[in-house]
Amino acid sequence: MTDEPRNAYQPTSVTPPGSTLADLLDERGIRQNELAVRMDVTPKFINELIAGKASISPTTALSLERALELPAGFWLARDAHYQAYRARLAEEAQLAEQREWLKELPLKDMIYFGWIKKRDSGPERVAECLRYFGVASESAWREQYVNRVLGSAAYRMSAKVRQQQGAIAAWLRQGEIEASRRECSAFSRDALLSALQKARALTLESNPDRFIPALDSLFAECGVVVAFVRAPKGCPASGAVRWISPEKALVQLSLRYKTNDSLWFTFFHECAHILLHRKKLLFLEGAGMSGAEEEEANELARDTLVPSDQWSNFRAGPLTEGYIRAFATALGVHPGIVLGRLNKEKLVPWNKLTHLKVRYAWKDSD
């Protein structure tokens, strides 16, 4: 189904060009057998032509032009119109058979976020979602996104997550779309290591309108696209990392936990996967992932944000607000980062000193 304007005229029925041919023969008193002789074809072919069972080729159109003195272009245009109508009917029937698939997708959020357009009929909604994922059919979607993309996740997903794979796939697809629009240099491991050290200073910036463009620019030079993508209902992921091409990695963040300590830890964690682990894997955070590779990424993220030798001395001190702020200033990171690690290690309760963290919220769509 093509993406026609909403007010484009779509005829409810189109007769085959054979009906025009039959009318013309009646007007001129020409029998089908006679036309077959004139065109040097079999009577059966003329019968199939009139019944709409045979299409009009350029050769047939020229023969009709000579026999009936109507331009070949007329017959070809008439046939093209009819074949397009038949193809549209066939496609609508095929799309209608796939409407159940829509129940697996977070359609309401996909429309609200502006990922897809709102469509009126079931077949139109199916076609819109197929366009979004860049696939020809539901079965192609399952092969590409369920079997290949989600199937490449580093660890086995829980049953609950498997039930949410339509929402996860929609979120991951939006990351792909954003990555395809971004220009970046070829991946460089050394450049990424350097960029991560520079990114620590960006944690001091509380305003996303300032630190997100800085992240984009800094990591594009390393071959890494950073995409903030709002998660639809049913997608439990806080972040993901995958390779879009051999020289282009994607770090995708959903801002699921809405605080700067979670955001920055997730970001450094995803970058750690790029540095430490295989290119072929998808690491999907917050979706039941666990294991040695996750712990390795956790450790590298922690130590990059707060070096372990300095942390050991700090955690033994009086964990007051002033002490936390002073330590963060000495490290060159936001105090919310330090508090988040203290929370994680159960040295400070989650409900204490919460004002040290920055909270974020997605802007509502227009």
The pLDDT of residue 1: 44
153 backbone dihedrals φ, ψ, rounded to 5°? -60, 145
The pLDDT of residue 5: 47
3-state secondary structure the chain: CCCCCCCCCCCCCCCCHHHHHHHHHHHHCCCHHHHHHHHCCCHHHHHHHHHCCCCCCHHHHHHHHHHHCCCHHHHHHHHHHHHHHHHHHHHHHHHHCCHHHHHHCCHHHHHHCCCCCCCCCHHHHHHHHHHHHCCCCHHHHHHHHHHHHHHHECCCCCHHHHHCHHHHHHHHHHHHHHHHCCCCCCCCHHHHHHHHHHHHHHCCCCCHHHHHHHHHHHHHCCCEEEEECCCCCCCCCCEEEEEEECCEEEEEECCCCCEHHHHHHHHHHHHHHHHHCCCCCEEEECCCCCCHHHHHHHHHHHHHHCCHHHHHHHCCCCCCHHHHHHHHHHHCCCHHHHHHHHHHCCCCCCCCCHHHCCECCCCCCC
The pLDDT of residue 44: 96
Q: For residues 208 and 360, is the Cβ–Cβ distance under 8 A? A: yes
The pLDDT of residue 293: 87
- Helices 58-68 and 72-96, packing angle to 10 deg: 140
The pLDDT of residue 119: 93
Q: Which domains does the chain have, with CATH numbers?
A: 17-96 (1.10.260.40), 101-165 (no CATH), 166-356 (no CATH)
The pLDDT of residue 278: 79
The pLDDT of residue 304: 95
For the beta sheet containing 239-245, the strands, ordered from the edge strand earlier in sequence to the opposite edge, are: 224-228, 248-253, 239-245, 283-285
The pLDDT of residue 364: 72
Low-confidence ranges of the chain (pLDDT < 70): 1-12, 154-163, 287-290, 365-366
